Amino acid sequence: MTRTAILAGMGAVVPPRSVENEELARTLDTNDTWIRTRTGIRTRHWTDTGTSTGDLATAAGARALKSAGVDSVDLVILATSTGNQPMPATAPEVAAALGLGQVAAYDISAACSGFLYGLSAAAGAIASGVAGRVLVVGADVWSTRLDPQDRSTIIIFGDGAGAAVLRAGHADEPGALLGFDLGSDGAGRELAQVAGGGSRERGSGRPPSPEDAYMTMQGKEMFTQAVNKMAASSELLLERIGWSAADVDWCAAHQANVRILHTVADLLGLERSRMLVHLDKVGNTSAASIPLALTDAAVSEQIKAGDRVLMTAFGGGLSWASTAMRWPEIDVMEISTDI
């Protein structure tokens, strides 16, 4: 029987500093009502000086290992677009900080789709026999890469990390990742990007521009792309695994904007109440958003063992991804602010 990746544990963290809408309204042309009605976000968490993406990833990974009841893995995959530095990758540093020894470890850069891309890579490693157990972490610290005066991004993004431990098992077990749909469209890379810091800027022959160190995003076009790509990807995935929309108990979609979540639900024919919503508490945490939302829903017992869960994401790249599982019986701790 083919080896399948099974969810064995989860953990998640956010920085202790909570930034309410009212705080942003003191320096921007905005207010709490404007932010909430357009995004659904009430607050987000930002790191303080001295806390890195790797720190958040390590804390989330430790909680996932504890949830799974294990102290070792064969592979660490970190999905992030805000690594500790351009080189080397942050994943080996996280593995070392967790005391995992000299295991394989690497980063994935797929923006907000990164965690699902990481699950797919981990599932492949398990199916091929390369690994028997994998730690997948989604972590981002976007607060360090946002223009404080850019209302279109500063109100949306938060920092956080979520992690999952996958183990080898069989497809008929609860927690089995039942399939994947992945896609990308590099023609849309400028819709959400950090233009500076890479070889394109350094090889341009022009002096670096301070503005290029910040994220820029074309919100209206990203909205349209997000709803269409997540809905289409979800439909392909459901057809592939033999589910209909009626079979889905919960959808954990990338937590970018509550209006995006509702529109995706409508396109799929899902009741809006079936969409998990966690962005009101943490904002858009990029690669961390789906594991954070799942952790929150599991702790609150919104998701219960046996529920059928669809996951779908869309982000810069452009990139998108979907997967699904029947939720397993696992011990999940509440989201921590202890970094």
For every residue of 152-209, DSSP letters joined together read HHHTTB--EEEEEEEEEE-TTSTTB---EEEEE-GGGGGGEEE-SSSHHHHTSSSPPP
The average confidence (pLDDT) of the chain is 96
* This prediction's pTM: 0.97
45 is an active site residue: no
Which of 21, 45, 112, 278 is flagged as catalytic? 112
Fill in the DSSP letter of residue 123.
H
Residue 1's pLDDT is 65
Which parts of the chain fold into alpha helices (H)? 21-25, 32-39, 53-68, 91-97, 114-128, 151-154, 199-202, 219-241, 258-268, 279-282, 289-299
Q: Tokens in use for 316?
A: 């810069």
Q: What is the pLDDT of residues 99-123, one digit of tens each?
A: 999 999 999 999 999 999 999 999 9
What would you report as the CA-atom Rg of the chain, rounded to the nearest whole angstrom?
19
Average pLDDT over residues 249-270: 98
Is the pLDDT confidence value at 235 over 90? yes
Measured between alpha carbons, how far is 97 from 93 in angstroms, rounded to an integer?
Answer: 6
Q: What is the pLDDT of residues 175-199, one digit of tens each?
A: 999 999 999 999 999 999 999 988 9
254 is an active site residue: yes
Residue 205's pLDDT is 87
Is the pLDDT confidence value at 301 over 70? yes
Which of 251, 254, 257, 278 is flagged as catalytic? 254
278 is an active site residue: no
Measured between alpha carbons, how far is 230 from 227 in angstroms, rounded to an integer?
Answer: 5
